[in-house]
Amino acid sequence: CCGVLPERARLLRSKHISPDGMVASPLLLLLPSSLLLLSSCSSCPPLLFASSSSRLLGSKLPISFSKSASSPLTARTRALFTVASPRRRPPPSSLSAMVASSSPSPSTLIPSSPATDMVQVLSSFPARTYRPPWWARQAHVNTIVGALFATPPTPSYERERWTTPDGDFVDIDFLRSELPASRGIVLLYHGLESNSLAPLTVRQARSLSMAGFDVAAIGFRGCSGEDNLTPGGYHLGFTDDVHFIAKRLHEQRPDRKIFVTGTSLGGNVMIKFLAELGDRASEIGVVGGAVSCVPMNAIDCQVKLDEDAFNCKVYSGNFLKSLKPKAERQATRFPGLFDIEKIRACKTIGEFDHNFIAPIYGFSSKEDYYLKCGSKAFLSRVRVPLLIINAIDDPFIEPSTLPTAEDIGEGTVRVQYTEHGGHCGYLEGLKSLSVDFRALFYKIFRGLRIQANAHAPAGWMPTELTRFLLHLDGEKLKEEEEEETQARKGKLFALFANVWKALTGRRRKE
């Protein structure tokens, strides 16, 4: 096996790893900490320590796969882990477990679902590398600038209000495909305290619409401009509405494909939704999904969000600006469900979840809520192709909690880690920016989201999610076409070379 010592040592040692994760045998090589270190010990199952940042290096995130036919891991088929670094190319490898990709990101096969065709879809997707501009390499800059200064044009939504089985309602904003023939419909969920008019949600919807998808941007209860009729609203694992919507859409048009996408909390809900469907996904036309910036291990993510002083002040404080007034209104309408004085005293998201979400939805505590709703525990139950994109420097997510091969198990999931990106930032330069200052004023100083209109493009992350859904739909992406063109050129060159060799050889004989 191979192991990585703490980042300051940056030493590669060989043979066996001690129980605490350190290597006990003699020093062999001195290597940069950014290299991908691959084991070659024949007596132990190999481990891949993928370190595209010093924080990930410190966490020693393992990704396991098997080279030997006798290993129990080869009894399963495989999904993909991609660890992307914008400044490095993957080290060459002759192992059959390594997948050739048009992207410079190293892709490592890991155990997964027995559905070979789904694994092929996952492994053949040509993932792109995210390269941040020099001024957005800091995670908070990428996160905050991306949230405030990347406003797209106003979408031409058509809103419908559907009555839910529990007597409440859900608002859905539909955006039609810009192409004559629709590829299917994408169910889109926004993040915590966002809505369908938020810049990121609109950029996602426009990217999908331009690619030929119809879009159903679903508003979480209480986030569409009007308080809902029942207590609570939504949470990390609230999948009731998306189940209801997907089933109804399928009943309306059984021949239509249904895809899912979402970011942050919305991405967590979509992963749980796919896991709950399991093998029954095809019964309602669900064919796959793509999500990003998902807090899959909610317990550790809550700690990072609340205990870091900057995160607590800036991010948690921003969320509480709208969460607390909603709780105040619900305390008036539904007295006795929770202690409003404790809500008023909340300083963190964890405290709010413990005193509002937990009692309303029947959880014993915030920890019980996070354990039961965090999507990391649901990955192994996903049975349709799913792409998850997360940034290692995401200020909301602890990198040591990112999923491993063991977490995915039999799930048909591909996880792509990027070194930078922040939380839902993924800026590509000044071209990513465009601002509606009136909407910005309301958002910062009044905690309100109003309809904004500027000219920001879709951006890297919405485009990448759209590319994967196009790939699921069988569309040949530009990178795949270029790869095929190069392959044809290579075959033609080889043919000419063989003919030339045959002719010159014949002349020599004569």
Q: What is the pLDDT of residues 448-464, one digit of tens each?
A: 777 778 889 999 999 99
Contact by Cβ (8 Å): 153, 459: no
Residue 479: band (very low, low, confident or very high) from pLDDT cuts 50, 70, 90: low
Token pair of 462 as six digits: 């919405």
pTM: 0.76
Quote the crossing angle between the two packed helices 460-472 and 199-210, to the nearest 10°. 40
| pLDDT band at residue 38 using 50, 70 and 90 as cut-offs | very low
d(CA 81, CA 106): 9
Look at residue 507 in the predicted model and tell me its pLDDT.
61
pLDDT averaged over the chain? 79
pLDDT at 450: 73
pLDDT higher than threshold 50 for residue 358: yes
Query: CB count, 10 Å around CB of 219?
Result: 26
How far is CA 431 from its chain centroid? 23
Pick the range with the lowest mean pLDDT from 22-26, 159-163, 234-238, 499-503. Answer: 22-26
Per-residue CA distances from 435 to 150, 263, 456 (Å) = 6, 21, 8
Does the pLDDT value for residue 91 go beyond 90? no
CA atoms of 217 and 438, how far apart (whole Å): 24
Which residue shows structure tokens 């399963």? 76
Which H or E run includes 262?
strand 258-263
Q: What integer is the mean pLDDT of 150-164?
A: 94
